[in-house]
Amino acid sequence: MEDQLLMTLEYWREYRTYFHIGQTWGVNESTAYRIIRKIEDTLVKSRDFTLPGKKKLASSNYSVRSGSG
């Protein structure tokens, strides 16, 4: 499961195609797609992983903070 999360983070961070992610991880392009979708769906359903909406991001007093403080 940790490898699947890392694969998803690489996909988000590097904007690489499923083909290239699959090549790096030694899986087929369609397998990389299924893994990344599964992780994304799991994160969304967990409610621990949420992103602010457009209105919140557009407000002038909104700032991004790290989880460490």
Amino acid symbol at 62 = Y
Cβ-defined contacts of 35-39 (< 8 Å, 24+): 35/4, 35/7, 35/8, 36/7, 36/8, 36/11, 38/4, 39/4, 39/5, 39/7, 39/8
pLDDT-derived band of residue 8, with 50, 70 and 90 as boundaries? very high
Tens of pLDDT, residues 28-52: 999 999 999 999 999 888 877 777 7
Angle at 53 between CA 49 and CA 7, to 5 degrees: 35
Measured CA to CA, the distance from residue 16 to residue 18 in angstroms comes to 7
Measured CA to CA, the distance from residue 44 to residue 28 in angstroms comes to 24
pTM: 0.69
Tens of pLDDT, residues 49-63: 777 777 777 776 666
